[in-house]
Structure 1
Amino acid sequence: MGVVHEPLTADCSRCAGLCCVALPFAASADFAVDKAAGTPCGHLQPDFRCGIHDGLREAGYPGCTVFDCFGAGQRVVQVTFGGRDWRRHPELAGPMFAVFPVVRVLHELLRHLTEARALPAAAPFAADLDAALAETDRLAAGTPDELAALDVEPHRRAVADLLGRVSDLARTPGRGPDRRGAQLLGARLRGADLRRASFRGALLVGADLRGADLREADLLGADLRGADLAGADLRDALFLTGPQLTAARGDAATRLPVGLPRPAHWEGGVRGPAKRGRRRARRPTRSTRR
């Protein structure tokens, strides 16, 4: 299998609050205020901790709870910039903030490629997946100048195509409906049989998916903000991430893939270890949607 040198799980203690500074957000239902890219959030503390981390939703920052850098933050700080941060080395602020979103896309690709490589059905694509993993990791290991100059879009498209072929094979036989990119805002899908369906890049904002069967469905890049997943069966769903679940609603009866924790704000949710850095939200990225 292709080697991935850096963890794909965020470790805010090894970052420098990059998501709290590098990325912009606008006053909305997700954020209480506007913030420009490159400007530190007003709640970011001198030690890079979030001053309101335990009460983000109550303070008007629910968007911060659904962002995940997939380990890009600590890679940029600890590897790309050799453990230096933008406060002690202000000359690095611009380059560091420019590189972070690029590495974030590459780490999300690594996360999905790693999942695909582990699928038994993906065996025919093993060599292609290994090559894609190695190339993506090579790109993420670039120098600051190389990363800043990188046009990541062609690579993203190539990986998306490969993941699509893996998904098609993994969902065969008995492939479900193809709803890629579908506009399903507020859709009434309660109790629906959606096994092996493709919702790649679909807008499922506010959709009623209570009790729906989504086993082995492809949910890569699906926008699940406010979707009701109470009692839904998501076991073995493909390319589902923690931020997607955090953006949705669920309960103790929602069945999840192995390795994905139940969000703390769900009924029956379990709060995980506290994170040091505040996270900026964005809707599921288009890094692998197709």
Structure 2
Amino acid sequence: MPDAAEARTRLRADCTRCAGLCCVAPAFVASADFAIDKPAGHACPNLRDDDRCGIHAELRERGFPGCTVFDCFGAGQQTVQVTFAGALPWRDSPEQAAAVFAAFGVQRLLHELLWYLAEALALPAAAPLHRELAAMRGRVERLTAADAGELAAADAGVLQAEAGALLLSVSELARAGVRRRPPAGARREPASGGGRGVLQRRRADQRNADLAGADLRRVDLRGASLRGALLIGADLRGADLQLTDLLGADLRGADVRGADLSGALFLTRRQVAGARGDAATSLPAGLEHPPHWGAA
């Protein structure tokens, strides 16, 4: 069984084989992530005629950090090169643009699922589920090769739910038996405009928990589930996140300096890029320290 890093090689964006879809299809809302509003389906004013970003080297300085953390998992080149056979219909045939953007949205969801399935298949603890995981990966891969009509007809939400349930079982197998140190507790700083109270103790299951701004410094989170948790601005400096399920967790602005994420489950490049780390932050194989973290 190939390791996750090897299996994910094709799940990297190759902008040279795309057509700037991420700069056109999604909407931008003026915020800390984007300096401007941009409607869905309209090209960003920074997109050049050669489908390259005109301010790519200065995105953060120019107020577009959201662009630097976006990851299509290779869906852009798949949409252009496979779904539309190398054509650029959003430019050449405006009447087909909606179909292109819809296909890109489905492909991105499918490619993200493939990212998680690749990791799950590489986990020894998930061996009892390898047959089901391989079957699911086969279904997803076949759909990525479909034409625009098949993609439009596919119920990607159902597929996502089925894969999510399977990945949850994988998470439970991988985290089973992890012996965590007695919880040291985690303080919760009051939010501006009124406190949200104090996080009294760390529990193993923090799925979908609101931990924005939580003080989790040096907390033993091994084997915990932070799946879908809101960790915006959380302080995770020095935290131990071995076998911590981070699928869908929002790590924007989370401080992971010195944290051990090397064995975290279902971590993506987007999450890493959105966090604040340093050279002492340990990451899983196949994930690199983003340039804005400084020297790694």
TM > 0.5 between the two? yes
* Match of residue 140, structure 1, among 137, 144, 158: 144
Q: 1:6 to 1:134 in 2, by over 3 A?
A: farther
Establish whether residue 202 from structure 1 lines up as the match of residue 229 from structure 2: yes
The 2-side partners of 1:260 and 1:31 are apart by 25
Which structure 1 segments of 5+ residues have no match? 270-290
Indicate the residue corresponding to 2:239 in structure 1: 212
User: What CA deviation, in whole Å up to 9, does each residue of 1:252-284 have, x standing for no partner?
Assistant: 111111111001111324xxxxxxxxxxxxxxx
Rg comparison, structure with higher value: 2
Shift of 1:47: 0.5
* Match of residue 157, structure 2, among 129, 153, 156: 153
Which structure's relative contact order is higher, taking Cα pairs within 8 Å and 6+ residues apart?
1
Q: 1:59 to 1:169 in 2, by over 3 A?
A: same
Shift of 1:24: 0.6
* Match of residue 235, structure 1, among 252, 262, 273: 262
Q: 1:14 to 1:253 in 2, by over 3 A?
A: same
Shift of 1:5: 11
Output the aligned Cα RMSD.
Answer: 1.7
> Are the counterparts in 2 of residues 224 and 248 from structure 1 also a CA contact under 8 Å?
yes
The 2-side partners of 1:121 and 1:106 are apart by 24
Identity fraction in percent: 60
Pick which of 109-118 and 90-99 moved more. 90-99
Q: 1:30 to 1:5 in 2, by over 3 A?
A: closer
Establish whether residue 23 from structure 1 lines up as the match of residue 50 from structure 2: no
The 2-side partners of 1:72 and 1:186 are apart by 32
The 2-side partners of 1:58 and 1:191 are apart by 31
* Match of residue 82, structure 2, among 75, 79, 82: 79
Indicate the residue corresponding to 2:192 in structure 1: none
Shift of 1:175: 6.2
Give the residue type in structure 2 aligned to 1:34.
D
Which structure 2 segments of 5+ residues have no match? 181-203
Query: TM-score if structure 2 supplies the norm length?
Result: 0.87
Indicate the residue corresponding to 2:207 in structure 1: 180
> Are the counterparts in 1 of residues 110 and 140 from structure 2 also a CA contact under 8 Å?
yes
Give the residue type in structure 2 aligned to 1:258.
A
Q: 1:254 to 1:5 in 2, by over 3 A?
A: closer
Shift of 1:6: 9.1
User: What CA deviation, in whole Å up to 9, does each residue of 1:107-157 have, x standing for no partner?
Assistant: 000110011001111110010001000011122222111212222111101
Give the residue type in structure 2 aligned to 1:142.
A
User: What CA deviation, in whole Å up to 9, does each residue of 1:170-223 have, x standing for no partner?
Assistant: 111126611110000100100100111110000000001000000111110000
Shift of 1:104: 0.3
Q: 1:48 to 1:175 in 2, by over 3 A?
A: farther
